[in-house]
Amino acid sequence: MTRRLYWEDMYLREFDAMVVSVAGQRVVLDQTAFNPRGGGLVSDSGTLAGQRVAEVVKEGEEIYHVIELQDAMVAGTQVHGVLDWDRRYRIMKMHTAAHILSAVVNGETGALITGNQISPDESRVDFNLDDFDRDKMSHYIDKVNEAVARELEVKTFFMKREEALAAPGFVKLANAMPPSLEILRIVQIGDVDTQADGGVHVKNTREIGEVRGLRTDNKGKSNRRLYFTVQ
Ligand SMILES: [Zn+2]
């Protein structure tokens, strides 16, 4: 299994790795700092041995780097990877903000998250909410910015599945994780949110800056979408 350097250090921008296998455009490495698409997050991009990494995808536990014009990478060779850092850092900010937004809306209304899409420029979280409009959105965004301004520390750690299921507060998401996972990665944002989560976050909410609500979209009662961005 590929060692996930992005879990050990979410601020790692460059790394060295060995090519484990190559199939067409898809390259598997022994370790990687590229966070694959998943959990609503778009994938990282960048370069590997100077070649463009268009996308990174995860199938089962295997991570595939999709190289645009792959022709030079051979199993057993060393390669250097470089992330598009500006893009990745915005994804980290957006993702952390999305967790805070989810916690705020869930705390005030009990609404559950029915979907999310985290992208560098614009992100959204979907809720099952009866009552939703622009004023409500502004109120939730204000609450998010209050939490962000408290400069909350974001911690990640690993926990046995049964212990996570027994802890109050994150049973719901632990249950949503594939049952094959014995050990869950937990992300804790101060006293605001604790979840089982495989994605990339900032270390402190102060890095997010300011969250701005962009618009709302009603896709049915179980799908109220709130679009936002970070500055
Ligand atoms: Zn997440």
**Token pair for residue 61?**
């536990």
With CA atoms as reference, report the closest residue to 25 among 85, 70, 88: 70
pLDDT digits (tens, 9 = 90+) for 105-153: 999 998 888 889 999 999 999 999 887 888 889 999 999 999 999 999 9
Q: In whole angstroms, what is the distance from residue 88 CA to residue 188 CA?
A: 20
pLDDT tens by residue, 77-114:
999 999 999 999 999 999 999 999 999 999 999 888 88
pTM: 0.93
Specify whether the CB–CB gap between 190 and 204 falls below 8 A.
no
Tens digits of residue pLDDT in 14-57: 999 999 999 999 999 999 999 999 989 999 999 999 999 999 99
Q: Strand pairing partners for 80?
A: 16
Interval between CA 201 and ligand 1 midpoint (Å): 8
Do residues 79 and 188 lie in contact, with contact meaning Cβ atoms separated by under 8 Å?
Answer: no
CA of 21 to the centre of ligand 1 (A): 29
Q: How far is the CA of 49 from the centre of ligand 1 (A)?
A: 30
Between the CA of 50 and the centroid of ligand 1 the distance, in Å, is 30
Task: Kindly list the protein residues that place their beta carbon closer than 5 angstroms to ligand 1, a single-atom ion.
Answer: 197, 199
Q: What is the pLDDT of residues 191-200, one digit of tens each?
A: 999 888 889 9
Q: How far apart are CA 76 and CA 158, in angstroms?
A: 31
Q: Identify which has the larger pLDDT, 173 or 5.
A: 5
Q: What is the 3-state secondary structure (H, E, C) of 202-229?
A: CCEHHHHCCEEEEEEEECCCCCEEEEEE
d(CA 206, CA 152): 7
